[in-house]
Structure 1
Amino acid sequence: MDLSTFINGAWDAHGDDADTVAQQLAEKLPEVQSPAEVPAFASLLAHVYGEHLGRWHDALVLLGRLRGVAAEDAVALAAVQRAERTLRCASGDGEALDDLMAGERAAVLAGAAAMQVGRGDAEAAASSLDAALAVAAEGLPDGSPALRALAVAGNNIAADLQDRPQRSAAETALMLRAAETGLAYWTRAGGWLQVERAEHRLSCCRLAAGEAEAALESARRCLAVCTANDAPAFERFFAHAVQAFAHRALGDEACFAQARDAALACHAQLADDERPWCEKELAELQAVAPA
């Protein structure tokens, strides 16, 4: 199995069996021979060992072994160094941010916040995210890697907290702040697809927080982005579905039915390999659909 195939498979499998994927990463590491292979491997390694397992020291040891491959390539070396600093920051190392420029500091803090949420420490995550946003507020140039780091971290934190069956008030506030961060920074770092999905995430989080009016506003913006960019049925399905859920939360059955029917029409256009991604929303829509 080539390295790229392994990494893709590991991303798919790690949520269900992080320990096994961690062992496979350690075994596979000697096969990383090219600097071009380092960033993706380092990112996965840090995520699995840090966010899922809290094995900070083991992760740093393995990343240290990647430095030899990355040493002569600035991009690869920067990826290893960021992963190391993020792990150190997430684990509470007070010196992890020393000597970092503003953009790199923001990126490390954002990544650490996502790891801390994954480890169940929402208080530390909120502190790290706030610190990242404070650094970013001082100004990040277009093209800065920190823009994407903030967008990804915001989305991941929001998704993690949204999926939890129970949240404290502080966790709900963090979920909303993270979703807003994802949207704000995908607007600068991504294309229309990332912005549309960030609007969808924000709408879902607002619904989870009981903010149906605000959720409907985000859902409408999500659908507007789809319409403006002739989005495929897969994207439009989710936009119509979340708008339907917002209408339902507001008690507007007529508008709910209209949005539901639009979502179901989009679902009918999907390819077979797209439909499994829509099962949860489809079940919610059909649960109240007329027989």
Structure 2
Amino acid sequence: MSFDAFIQSAWRAHADDTAAVATQLSESLALLQTAEQVPAYVRLVVHVYGEHLGQWAAGSALLAQIEALPLLGHGLAEQALRRGQASLAFCAGNESALQVLNAADRVAALATSATALAGRERLGEGMAALRAACAEAEQVLAAHDDAWRALAVAGNNLALQLEQTAGRTPEQTAAMLAAAETGLACWCRAGTWLEEERAEYRLARSLLQAELPEAASQHAQRCLDICLAHAAPYFEQFFANAVLALAARAAGDAAAFSAHRAQALACHAQLSADDLRWCVAELAELGQA
């Protein structure tokens, strides 16, 4: 199996068979042939051993094995390992692990930690890490520093995780909205129009979960406006129209729901078989399963 095929397969399987993927990661270091491959491997190790398993020490030990491979001397590989090790150590309770990092590495490690801690049902610590990362980023990061992307990913991932949490508490709902807003703000700094419109979609979804349909409609409309301004593919327009329809229905606007539902279904009809598999949940919500 090629390196890329292994990484793709592991991401697909990790949520349903986490322990098996962790074992595969520990036994597949021979697939690492270039320094450029290291960041993708490190991200997966930190995610699986950290957020999913809470096995901080085991994840750190696996990263140490990667550090021992004759692949380094490449800035991005070394950066990924520094950030990954610091995040795992921080989540394990070693706050001093962040102090030896430069500002950009510290922000990125905190952002990764925020998602991992929330995934281990340590939401308060996770949100504190996200706030600390945001505060430091505002003070020290350059406009195009890649750590903004780490913050954006953390915000979006935290928001999605909390949207899917059954029986959310008021504290969790507030955290969900704060995370989605962070994701949007950071993608506006660090991303393309595509990432910005997807962050608008995420915030609209979070607002719907918070039972704030009017605010959800505003962000859903922004999502669609960005799509139309950039002639986005039908795949993106489907989701934009779908969330706008759902927000309209939640707000009691039957005419707007019907109009945007029709637009969403028209976009859906243009999608490839590969794209269709991502649309099942939205289609069911629109009453078209």
Q: TM-score range by the shorter chain?
A: over 0.9
Is 2:120 the counterpart of 1:125? no
Q: What corresponds to 2:58 in structure 1?
A: 58
Q: What corresponds to 1:264 in structure 2?
A: 265
Q: What corresponds to 1:36 in structure 2?
A: 36
Q: What corresponds to 1:149 in structure 2?
A: 150
Q: What corresponds to 2:94 in structure 1?
A: 93
Q: What corresponds to 2:207 in structure 1?
A: 206
Letter paired with 2:180: A
Query: Over aligned residues, Cα RMSD in angstroms?
Result: 1.3
Percent of aligned pairs sharing the same letter: 47
Letter paired with 2:94: D
Residues 2 and 31, structure 2, Cα contact 8 Å, conserved in 1: no
Residues 123-165 of structure 1: per-residue CA shift (max 9 Å, x gap) = 1111111111111121421221211110111111111111122
- Give the whole-Å Cα distance in 1 for the aligned partners of 2:38 and 2:261: 45
Is 2:70 the counterpart of 1:67? no
Is 2:247 the counterpart of 1:222? no
Following superposition, the deviation at residue 107 of structure 1 comes to: 1.1
Unpaired runs of at least 5, structure 2? none
Is 2:44 the counterpart of 1:48? no
Deviates more, 1:163-172 or 1:197-206: 163-172
Is 2:183 the counterpart of 1:182? yes
Deviates more, 1:113-122 or 1:163-172: 163-172
Alignment length, in residue pairs?
288
Letter paired with 1:210: E
Letter paired with 1:285: L
- Give the whole-Å Cα distance in 2 for the aligned partners of 1:174 and 1:91: 22
Residues 156 and 183, structure 2, Cα contact 8 Å, conserved in 1: yes
Letter paired with 1:49: Y
1:15-26 equivalence runs, <5 A: 15-26=15-26
Following superposition, the deviation at residue 276 of structure 1 comes to: 1.3
TM-score scaled by structure 2?
0.97
Is 2:6 the counterpart of 1:6? yes
Residues 83 and 106, structure 2, Cα contact 8 Å, conserved in 1: no
- Give the whole-Å Cα distance in 1 for the aligned partners of 2:75 and 2:107: 19
Following superposition, the deviation at residue 255 of structure 1 comes to: 1.0
- Give the whole-Å Cα distance in 2 for the aligned partners of 1:91 and 1:170: 24
Deviates more, 1:48-57 or 1:86-95: 86-95
Residues 90 and 113, structure 2, Cα contact 8 Å, conserved in 1: yes
Following superposition, the deviation at residue 225 of structure 1 comes to: 0.2
Is 2:172 the counterpart of 1:171? yes
- Give the whole-Å Cα distance in 1 for the aligned partners of 2:26 and 2:140: 38
- Give the whole-Å Cα distance in 2 for the aligned partners of 1:169 and 1:62: 38
Letter paired with 2:279: C
SS at structure 2 position matched to 1:138: helix
Following superposition, the deviation at residue 283 of structure 1 comes to: 1.0
